[in-house]
Amino acid sequence: MSRIILIAAAACSLAAQPVSSYRYTVKGDEKTIEITNVNYEIAGRANNTLVLRETTHSKQVLGDIGMEASTTTEAWKLGTNIKEKPLYSVSVEGSESRVVEDNLFVVSRGLEEVEWWSVYRLANGAHLFDTYVPLVKLGEWGERRYTGLEVAADDTKDARLKEAHVVAVLTYASDEKIIREALITCDDPKQAQLLRSFADETRTMTARGDKSVSLRLSFTTSGGPAPGPALSIVIPIASDNLDLTHAQLPPHVHIAAWKR
């Protein structure tokens, strides 16, 4: 009798764990693919080494634009039984979660036509910032620094970012905290609206220089018969911070310190 109970308990334990799976269904003309992927990896450093379980579930109707997807990232101290409650669990809409240099994990959030990412601390799962350009990594101060650009979307929860002249928020951070945020604005509301556009504007951000590092942020209009000239902003980095005073800006564009 006790053996039967033990077997049943083991079966329940296994059933509680996420399992990778694939499902294809056809309903009339609608063909749907559902995939669940479960991945384990070791990440972190020194005394903060973690076991991560990344579970991604996606559902896509063939022929439709975009898809439904969610990711869950769970973490346990190395050596801990993963049947125990995790140190943290982060669940958001997204198609992929990946670790960046044992400091962060980044979730790809763009499920339709716009690519964007959410950045989290690996140590405790805390959200750091969102970015609509790929994460830029810097390393001039013995510790990694990271930058991203959050475009002021129409559905933003921060009412201040809905102001007509606002373009985006530039973030400069370590793996522990936000060091500086800067608000980019434009005097012309129509130009600001264009720079915010996801359909007609392409944005890139790169780091350049060796000892003297600066960020170059470029906006290129892709709508219309031919791409428009790129609008570029260059922000030096000095004393482990954004040097906004010496930023190189196009006419009618401004950048200033900002805080959430």
pLDDT in tens, 228-251: 668 999 999 999 999 999 999 999
Residues 73 and 153 grouped into a single domain: no
Is residue 23 assigned to a domain? yes
64 pLDDT above the threshold of 80? no
Q: Which pLDDT score is estimated for 112? A: 75
Is residue 65 assigned to a domain? yes
**Mean pLDDT, to the nearest integer, of 17-31?**
88
12 pLDDT above the threshold of 50? no
Of the three residues 68, 96, 124, the one that is the final residue of a domain is 96
Of the three residues 96, 112, 131, the one that is the final residue of a domain is 96
Q: pLDDT class for 6, splitting at 50, 70, 90?
A: very low
Residues 79 and 164 grouped into a single domain: no
Domain that holds residue 46: 19-96
- 13-16 long-range CB contacts below 8 Å, 24 or more apart? 13/83
Residues 156 and 85 grouped into a single domain: no
Residues 92 and 156 grouped into a single domain: no
Residues 165 and 238 grouped into a single domain: yes
Residues 92 and 170 grouped into a single domain: no
Is residue 128 assigned to a domain? no
Number of Cβ atoms within 10 Å of the Cβ of 175: 18
192 by Cβ neighbours in 10 Å (0-12 / 13-18 / 19+) ranks as buried
Is residue 3 assigned to a domain? no
Residues 151 and 258 grouped into a single domain: yes
Is residue 125 assigned to a domain? no
4 pLDDT above the threshold of 60? no
Residues 91 and 184 grouped into a single domain: no
User: Would you state the structure tokens that stand for residue 237, as one six-digit string?
Assistant: 């980095």
Residues 151 and 259 grouped into a single domain: yes
**In whole numbers, what is the pLDDT of the chain averaged over residues?**
87
Of the three residues 96, 111, 132, the one that is the final residue of a domain is 96
Q: Which pLDDT score is estimated for 231? A: 92
- Compute the radius of gyration of the chain from its Cα atoms: 22
What number of CA atoms fall less than 13 Å from residue 183's CA on the CB side? 16
Q: Which pLDDT score is estimated for 47? A: 80
Q: Which pLDDT score is estimated for 2? A: 34
Residues 166 and 247 grouped into a single domain: yes
Cα–Cα distances in angstroms (integers) from residue 166 to residues 65, 161, 244, 254, in the given order: 29, 6, 17, 10
Pairing mode of beta strands 253-258, 145-151 = unpaired
1 pLDDT above the threshold of 70? no
Q: pLDDT class for 142, splitting at 50, 70, 90?
A: low
What beta strand segments (E) does 44-155 contain?
Answer: 50-61, 68-77, 88-93, 96-100, 104-108, 117-121, 127-131, 136-138, 145-151
Q: How far apart are CA 13 and CA 90, in angstroms?
A: 22
Is residue 246 assigned to a domain? yes
Please give the residue that has the higher pLDDT: either 27 or 14: 27
Is residue 114 assigned to a domain? no
252 pLDDT above the threshold of 70? yes
Identify the sign of the CA torsion 181, 203, 187, 251. positive
Q: How far apart are CA 83 and CA 76, in angstroms?
A: 10
User: Would you state the structure tokens that stand for residue 210, as one six-digit string?
Assistant: 């060796």
pTM for the model: 0.86
pLDDT digits (tens, 9 = 90+) for 212-226: 789 999 999 876 555
Q: pLDDT class for 15, splitting at 50, 70, 90?
A: very low
Cα–Cα distances in angstroms (integers) from residue 37 to residues 21, 122, 129, 172, in the given order: 7, 20, 25, 32
Please give the residue that has the higher pLDDT: either 24 or 12: 24
Which residue blocks in the chain are alpha helix, DSSP H?
2-16, 189-196
User: Total structural domains in the chain?
Assistant: 2
9 pLDDT above the threshold of 70? no
Tell me if 44 sits within 8 A of 50, measured CB to CB.
yes
Lowest mean pLDDT among 7-16, 20-29, 214-223: 7-16
Residues 89 and 155 grouped into a single domain: no
Q: pLDDT class for 227, splitting at 50, 70, 90?
A: low
Residues 157 and 75 grouped into a single domain: no
Is residue 75 assigned to a domain? yes
Tell me if 38 sits within 8 A of 53, measured CB to CB.
yes
Q: How far apart are CA 108 and CA 118, in angstroms?
A: 7
